Amino acid sequence: MGDFSIQISANLINRLAEDDEKLKKRAKKTKPREPRQPETKVDQKQIADGSEKQRETNGTGWPVPPPLFLPVNQPQYSSSTELDAIRSVIKESENVVEKLRNQEENMVREVTQKAKDLHEKEFKIPEPKPMPCLVENNACMECYKENVTDITKCAPLAKNFADCARRVRQLAKSANK
């Protein structure tokens, strides 16, 4: 089970304080306690029979005290009211936690999608541009390989390549202006 915390709202504290004030008012209006009746001895026959008196005294001759967790004058419904209030706070907290989880999931999805988009844009390989004057360049190089001893035979091909390169530079300059 994950970690969680319970937030106690001011509304809950006010409700509990109001319940406490109501209980104090009721306690003042109740009758004062009557003094206890003197204890009667339990004879052996009653103990053996399992009579009502034995259940009240738990078989020891002493009365069974009331439960420690409920004060004598406090009605039993107040603890259930407190429990209901605590349960409502817990339910509200669970709803808040669920909303936060949903919000976190949405944010994770958004961040993941944005990261993918950025990655695709950043590392996308640009389309290669065709090399200008590729035909003229290849023809000139081939001529040089065939005529290693007499490269003057390749002068017209070299001039064609140089003219092509000049035209491309001029086009690039005029496009940048």
pLDDT of residue 152: 92
Query: Quick check: 61 and 42 in contact, CB under 8 A?
Result: yes
Residues 6 or more apart from 43 whose CB is under 8 A from it? none
pLDDT band (50, 70, 90) for residue 51: very low
pLDDT of residue 59: 58
Determine how many CB atoms are found less than 10 A away from the CB of residue 31.
Answer: 5
Cα separation, 5 vs 11, in Å, equals: 18
The string of pLDDT tens digits covering residues 88-138 is 999 999 999 999 999 999 999 999 999 988 888 876 677 888 889 999 999
Q: Which two tokens stand for residue 42?
A: 């339990």
Cα separation, 153 vs 145, in Å, equals: 11
- pTM higher than 0.85 for the full model? no
Asked if residue 74 has pLDDT above 60, the reply is no
Cα separation, 162 vs 112, in Å, equals: 51
pLDDT of residue 52: 46
Domain ranges of the chain: 10-26+41-122, 134-176
